[in-house]
A = this chain, B = another copy of it.
Amino acid sequence: MNTENFDLSGYLKERRTLLEESLNRIILQFDQQRELVQAMRHSLMAGGKRLRPVLGMAAAEAAGGDFRYTLPAACAIEMVHTYSLIHDDLPAMDNDDLRRGVPTCHRAFSEATAILAGDALLTHAFTILSKPGKIISEPGGKPLFELYPDKRVLLELVALISDAAGVNGMVEGQMMDMLAEGGVSSSTSSATSNLNCPSDQMECLRKLHHLKTGRMIVASVQAGALSVGADSATVTLLSTYAEKIGLAFQVVDDILNVEGDASVMGKAAGSDHLNAKLTFPALLGLDESKKFAARLIEDAIEPLFSAVFEKRTLPLISIAQYILKRDR
């Protein structure tokens, strides 16, 4: 299977457009004059890679299904992802001023409004999963998902996404990150001292990323597969793919941060900057980190070349390869 002729950029654009049309229809259901709705729209419609929803759609295709059936889960997941960015950007957390090239929600509106916009996006994700037929419709107004899908599947999606996003998933990942960076406890002396895993820093870093981003990336792929009724063997195989590319994404992020620093600030890898934060280059060195990321991607895509998939896995393979070679 040759991925060189696959038009990934065209594929991503088409899928993102479909997602954003659906998200837009969701937001347009509300009075656009409302402060809360404006804040939700500001963050939800600010662009971004839409990696999670696109992975969900690509997983549905790999499983031989119609990717449009993943739209409720894809929209819900993007709303959960956006809420997490809004809350992570707050002054009490990372205190960021810019996100996706525009002012963060609390800068564009207010801190209170940003907290509430995040809460509303998270809550509405579950309204969408429980009532997809009423929410997602074709441009003409005809519901796309009147019969969509089995209610047991929808309830499974609620369980899957809430579990990945919550106390044993993304929220705990952010909590670990805050503790690791000393943003919460002022008595923090080293990056791992608050993390209950002092013995193995590598294990600790992997756990942090698994919780903070990995679980939602895995859930995205699983949600896509479940939405089209994939069998459990396919779900398991795609989950492993997602786990590996999720981790690779973080390793590449860390590498880009170091190399970005090196070119911009004239600092070499291994500088004091690296010691301030637990990262893969800090633990493994830059070269080993690059090899680690390459191996993860290789392991992720290897099973997807199987003939049983009849080239339906081309998008997933291309996305994985893109993660490795991206430069920003």
- Chain A interfacial positions (CB closer than 8 Å to B): 30, 33-37, 40, 83, 87, 90, 92-93, 109-113, 115-116, 118-120, 122-124, 126-127, 129-131, 151-152, 154-156, 158-159, 162-163, 165-168, 171-172, 174-175, 178-179, 183-185, 194, 196
**CB atoms of A35 and B116 under 8 A apart:** no
- Copies of the protein in its oligomer: 2
Kindly state the separation between the CA atoms of A115 and B115 in the bound complex, as whole angstroms: 8
Shortest Cβ gap from A227 to chain B (Å): 15
Q: Is the CB of B158 within 8 A of A130?
A: yes
**Cα A92 to Cα B36 with chains together (Å):** 15
Determine how close the nearest CB of chain B comes to the CB of A286; give it in whole angstroms. 31
Residues of B within 8 A of A34 (CB): 172, 175, 196
Specify the main secondary structure of chain A where it touches its partner.
Answer: helix
Kindly report which residue of chain B lies nearest to residue A125, judged by CB atoms: B162
Q: Which of B83, B110, B174, B179 contacts A184 (CB 8 A)?
A: B110
| Cα–Cα, bound, A174→B118 (Å) | 13
Indicate if the CB atoms of A112 and B183 lie closer than 8 Å.
yes
Q: Specify the chain B residue showing the minimal Cβ separation from A163.
A: B127
- Once A92-B115, A93-B115, A110-B92 are accepted as A-B contacts, the answer to whether A120 and B167 lie under 8 Å apart by CB is yes
- The answer to whether A184 touches B113 (Cβ under 8 A) is yes
Residue pair B87, A115 in contact (C-beta under 8 Å): yes
CA distance A23 to B163 in the complex (A): 17
Residue among B87, B123, B158, B174 making CB contact with A171, cutoff 8 Å: B123
- Report the bound CA distance from A1 to B167 in whole Å: 46
Nearest neighbor of A27 in chain B, beta-carbon distance: B167
- Chain B neighbourhood of A37, CB < 8 A: 167
Chain B contacts for A194, CB-based, 8 A: 35
Contacts A36-B171, A37-B167, A110-B184 supplied; 17 other A-B pairs, CB < 8 Å:
A30-B168, A35-B175, A83-B119, A87-B115, A87-B116, A92-B110, A112-B178, A112-B183, A119-B166, A123-B166, A124-B162, A126-B162, A130-B156, A131-B159, A151-B152, A151-B155, A155-B155
Chain B residues lying within 8 Å of A163, measured Cβ to Cβ, are: 127, 131
Residues in B whose Cβ lies below 8 Å from that of A110: 92, 184-185
Query: A93 — nearest CB in chain B belongs to which residue?
Result: B112
Q: A26–B92 Cα gap in the complex (Å)?
A: 28
Once the chains bind, are B155 and A120 in contact (CB under 8 Å)?
no
- Give Cα A112–Cα B159 distance, bound, in whole angstroms: 25
Are A167 and B36 within 8 A (Cβ)?
A: yes
Across the interface, do A167 and B123 meet the contact criterion of CB distance under 8 Å?
yes
B residues in contact with A93, CB < 8 Å:
112, 115
